[in-house]
């Protein structure tokens, strides 16, 4: 199984652009590719999916255990192709769940991407430091990004070679290839109309040593033994409808795969464009950018009314982050305008100036759609949104605590058929939660 990890020396190294370019370049050579992203990332995976013309999955040993991550990687990798894994942040950020930890878990060589803007030979010093920091990690080569000229590339390339570090090429500064950012990271691929992955792949084929990239991927060692993440042979004859459009994009593809592995039929709907919910046993209002599209969401009165009616009938509604903001009474958008929402949960949502980000454990304060009272759910938060009040006495959802910390905060809404919280959960790594959810859907239909 050929595989390689594309890691950055830091955030904003341009590794998403480089990874997308490598996926496209390999495709242009007729090589089958599989794509992965380390960490809890929804946005980059959509770019990887489009550039590789393949599904892209997350590898995260907090959201799923090591066996789950390995089984997902093995199952989603094409035996006759090359698996490309994009790292998160800097190579050594995040500990065992960071890029270096995932690279070791899947026993893959690493290509380091360095932002060479305003740097000369110091870029080689950075690469040398990364190589010497952990000798158990195979840093097989370096790609320079944002270089300005032939001379700029040559002086760094010579410095790299003098230290025995393989130089794999450089991508020149080109504003047309850069991906714009906003408050939750990169502009989503659905909204970025200027991404030309074929052009990017052609540039990568010209400026990066793709032949050497292929040889490096072929040097990966064996995967260690692992079990299956799906622990039950039971199948559920249920239909799950998931919100997915420009406003709601944050759903892990491996979560969908987990639902399907348990026999569920997964369909999609658009709170922006559809007038009513499809017929289903349960609904997932995924995260995303409702604050960007609040005016259009509010203008879709038939959908708002239908969401209220479906909830009143007792159909289970699971909402994460942006999905929770949508189910509130009101949503105040990024421009300070307030819009009426379905009002399924008795909160008002708004945007704040600071983000909340981190791995979390949610201990259920009552039986809910994902687990029983007292049970724990692992997930992550990343949002600028807030709800007011933060919780309502008698319908509190979770006591949330950060990874490796004991203090907790009460948050979210759990009442009857509705569970809404900031917590993003990966169902692939939590088969017991997936099965609990499907059991609730089955029983609610009786």
**Residues that are catalytic:** 321
Look up residue 187 and give its two tokens.
């502009």
Cα–Cα dist 439/446, whole Å = 11
Count the neighbouring beta carbons within 10 Å of the beta carbon of residue 49. Answer: 19
Task: Report the phi/psi class of residue 118: left, alpha or beta, with left for phi > 0 and alpha for psi in -120 to 50.
Answer: left
Q: Which DSSP string do the residues of 323-346 spell out, in sequence order?
A: HHHHHSSEEE-TTS-EEE---SSS
- Sequence-separated (6 or more) residues with CB below 8 Å from residue 403: 62, 358, 359, 360, 361
Report yes or no: 251 and 284 within 8 Å, Cβ to Cβ: yes
Other beta carbons within 10 angstroms of residue 28's beta carbon come to 15
In this structure, the strands spanning 330-332 and 2-8 are unpaired
Q: Is the dihedral of CA 17, 20, 25, 26 positive or negative?
A: positive
Q: Which of 260, 305, 313, 277 is nearest to 427 (CA)?
A: 260
Q: Which residues of 252-280 are buried (b: 16+ CB within 10 A; e: fewer)?
A: bbbbbbbbebbebebebbebbebeebeeb
Closest among 73, 427, 140, 99 to 284, alpha carbons compared: 427
Burial 402-424 (b: 16+ CB within 10 A, else e): eeeeeeeeebbbbbebbbbbbbb
Q: By the 8 A CB rule, do 349 and 340 touch?
A: no
Residue 389: cis peptide before it, omega within 30 degrees of 0: yes
Which stretches of 72-206 are assigned E, i.e. beta strand? 82-90, 110-115, 139-147, 167-172, 181-182, 185-186
Compute the distance between CA of residue 62 and CA of residue 429 in angstroms, rounded to an integer: 9
């Amino acid at each position: 199984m050929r595989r390689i990890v594309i890691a950055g020396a830091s955030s904003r190294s341009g590794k998403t652009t480089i990874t997308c370019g490598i996926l496209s370049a390999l495709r242009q050579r007729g090589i089958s590719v599989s794509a992965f992203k380390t960490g809890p990332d929804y946005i980059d995976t959509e770019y990887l999916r489009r550039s590789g013309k393949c599904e892209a999955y997350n590898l995260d040993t907090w959201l799923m255990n090591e066996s789950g991550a390995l089984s997902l990687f093995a199952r989603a990798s094409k035996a006759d192709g090359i698996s490309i894994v994009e790292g998160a942040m800097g190579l050594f950020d995040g500990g065992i769940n960071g890029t270096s930890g995932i690279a070791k878990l899947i026993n893959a060589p690493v290509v380091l991407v360095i932002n060479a803007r305003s740097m000369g030979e110091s870029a080689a010093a950075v690469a040398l430091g990364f190589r010497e920091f952990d000798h158990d990690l195979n840093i097989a080569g370096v790609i320079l990004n944002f270089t300005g000229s032939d001379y700029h590339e040559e002086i760094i390339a010579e410095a790299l070679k003098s230290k025995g570090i393989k130089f794999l090429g450089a991508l020149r500064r080109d504003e047309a290839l850069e991906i714009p950012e906003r408050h939750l990271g990169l502009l989503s691929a659905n909204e970025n109309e200027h991404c030309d992955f074929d052009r990017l792949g052609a540039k990568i084929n010209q400026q990066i040593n793709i032949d050497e990239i292929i040889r490096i991927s072929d040097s990966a060692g064996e995967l260690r033994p692992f079990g299956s993440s799906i622990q039950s042979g039971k199948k559920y004859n249920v239909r799950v409808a998931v919100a997915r459009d420009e406003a709601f994009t944050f759903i892990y593809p491996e979560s969908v795969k987990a639902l399907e592995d348990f026999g569920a039929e997964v369909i999609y709907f658009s709170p922006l464009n559809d007038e009513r919910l499809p017929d289903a046993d349960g609904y997932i209002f995924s995260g995303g950018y409702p604050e960007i599209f609040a005016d259009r969401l509010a203008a879709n009165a038939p959908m708002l009314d239908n969401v209220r009616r479906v909830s009143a009938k007792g159909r289970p509604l699971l909402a994460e982050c942006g999905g929770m903001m949508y189910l509130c009474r009101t949503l105040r958008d990024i421009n300070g305008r307030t819009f009426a929402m379905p009002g399924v949960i008795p909160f008002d949502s708004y945007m704040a100036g600071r983000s909340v980000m981190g791995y979390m454990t949610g201990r259920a304060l009552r039986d809910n759609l994902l687990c029983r009272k007292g049970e724990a759910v692992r997930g992550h938060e990343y949002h600028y949104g807030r709800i007011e009040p933060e919780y309502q006495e008698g319908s509190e959802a979770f006591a949330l605590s950060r990874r490796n910390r004991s203090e907790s905060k009460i948050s979210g809404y759990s009442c009857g058929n509705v569970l809404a919280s900031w917590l993003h959960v990966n169902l692939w790594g939590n088969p017991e939660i997936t099965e609990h959810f499907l059991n609730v859907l089955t029983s609610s239909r009786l």
